[in-house]
Structure 1
Amino acid sequence: MAYGISTYAYFWRHSARASRPMTLTEMLADTAELGGQVFQICDYAPIEAYDRAQLADARATAHDLGLELELGTRGIRTEHLAKYLDMAGELGVTLVRSMLHVPGHRPDPAEATALLKESVPRYEDAGVTLGLETYEQVATDDLVAVVRGVDSDRLGVVLDPGNSVARLERPVDVVTATAAHVVNIHVKDFAFSRRDGWVGFTYAGTPLGEGLLNYDGMIAAVAAARPGRRINQIVEHWLPWQDEGYDVTARLEHQWTQHSINTLLRSE
């Protein structure tokens, strides 16, 4: 098991709201400086425009910093997964995270299973694992049914129990349902807070250990269900934009990232 950081932990700092968005190289360097061992390039649109030389540079930079790379995307169309498998080969990546639904394509479990049966054999041949993330657009039972239907050791679940709360699925139930199939874990904490005047709630991120995520229980459940399996843990955030502006938001984002990776490293 290794501990790392996702592009989602740099969400605001590499966004258009920054006067000079962080580059991938800067995110890699920051991850290494914070003690991370893995960097997951997740839903990072610029990577799709990289040519082979740029991909080779990213791989070399990560290697020089002592970082393992992972990739993340959305969608399971055959040509899209083939593109990301090719990129994985150029980057030296052995895990690609995806999601079943994208705008314009929302396959049901039967179609998703059929599509993945076309793509996963290529992943098997390349020694790359494909992980499907838990999230509110797909019932966890349906996601697990797809994984079981494909029945490959190179297809599993990227566990992020906070995502499924919006589907009224309890995090503990998501962990229990998926534990035997987990290949990667997104670590982000979350909580509800009352809106002004007590009119409803806001569901958002919180520093690790201060919210509703039962981190110890999640890790124990996965470890018991997957003994001996190497499963990386990747720091993410749901940090809301701060009213004080970019500088305050960026500073908090860094603090949350530092706190999260330090917490994971201390848990070893």
Structure 2
Amino acid sequence: MIGLGTYAFFWQHSDQVPEPLSLVGAFEATKALGIDLFQICDYAPLESMGSGELAEAAAAARDLGLTIELGTKGIEPERLTRFLDLAGLFDAHLVRSMLYSPDTRPTLAQAEDWLRAALPGFEASGVDLALETYEQVATDELVALIERIGSERLGVCLDPANVVARLERPRDCVEATARHVKNIHVKDFAFARQAGWVGFTYGGAPMGEGLHDYAHLLATVRPRERGVNEPEVNEIVEHWLSWQGDAETTIRTEREWTRITVEYLRSIA
């Protein structure tokens, strides 16, 4: 299933614009595009909302007919327990996270201990935990960790754009993780020469115009071909869009990139 995530509304949510979009506003914008899935991922206000606000947001999603996924950074058992509780509130069946949080950088051994402590709750609740591929941990090490633990509820959130900063190739990342993928973050990416031809900038691109071989990802991971005995793998739209000089232009471009990406995903076989 195609979905939008909070990173597709990065600038619209930010305090850089005159009237930041609320979470429910993002839900409504998602539904207006004919999309029934939304991933609340690294959305800071979620962790400071009171119980009443959270209940209202969950009710709004249900009223709109949206399926919700959640996302955070870090795997401390107390954090994962908190997000498992939120998953119950939002009827979410997936939590995306990363090994590192802003405050913790566990060794692989510590990460394994923390995950083993938290996963029985996920297994009992039928909620998947998807660890994202990114530059701070080698893809092979992330896969090896998941395989050592061996829980059917633990897998990968595949974002091959991130690993380029570790000098890994996106295609290699896709192939190494394919059998463990539970969620996909969809964005295109490209290099551009900096002024004076001194170095490069690595950033976002409109979907289909950058370096992402998404057809290869679809053929390798098969997110749309899962059978009855294989859980669904959703494709979540997000962007690496830099500030466009002013709020109006940035918001317009962000919305346009979302439209382009959704149309691309709907058109590609």
Tell me the TM-score normalized by structure 2.
Answer: 0.95
CA distance in 2, matches of 1:28, 1:257: 14
1:42 touches 1:72 (CA, 8 Å); kept in 2?
yes
Aligned to 2:209: 210
CA distance in 1, matches of 2:185, 2:34: 17
Percent identity between matched residues is: 52
Aligned to 1:163: 162
1:99 touches 1:132 (CA, 8 Å); kept in 2?
yes
**Aligned CA-pair RMSD:** 1.5
Aligned counterpart for 1:235 among listed residues 233, 237, 261 = 237
CA distance in 2, matches of 1:107, 1:36: 37
List 4+ stretches of structure 1 deviating above 6 A. Answer: none
Equivalent AA in structure 1 for residue 260 of structure 2: H
Correspondence 1:120 to 2:104:
no
Unaligned runs of 5+ residues in structure 1 are: none
Question: What's the secondary structure of 2:255's corresponding residue?
Answer: helix
Aligned to 2:253: 252
Question: What's the secondary structure of 1:211's corresponding residue?
Answer: coil
CA distance in 1, matches of 2:78, 2:125: 16
2:215 touches 2:268 (CA, 8 Å); kept in 1?
no
Question: What's the secondary structure of 1:161's corresponding residue?
Answer: coil
1:128 touches 1:154 (CA, 8 Å); kept in 2?
yes
1:88-237 maps to which residues of 2 (within 5 A)?
Answer: 88-223=87-222, 227-228=226-227, 229=230, 230-237=232-239
Q: Tell me how far 1:227 sits from its aligned partner.
A: 4.2
CA distance in 2, matches of 1:203, 1:36: 29
Q: Tell me how far 1:53 sits from its aligned partner.
A: 2.6
Equivalent AA in structure 2 for residue 96 of structure 1: V
Question: What's the secondary structure of 1:117's corresponding residue?
Answer: helix
CA distance in 2, matches of 1:156, 1:66: 26
Tell me the TM-score normalized by structure 1.
Answer: 0.96
Larger displacement relative to structure 2 (131-140 or 52-61): 52-61
Q: Tell me how far 1:64 sits from its aligned partner.
A: 1.9
1:224-267 alpha-carbon deviations (Å, 9 max, x no partner):
8x842310000000001113x11101100000011111222233
1:57-68 maps to which residues of 2 (within 5 A)?
Answer: 57-68=56-67
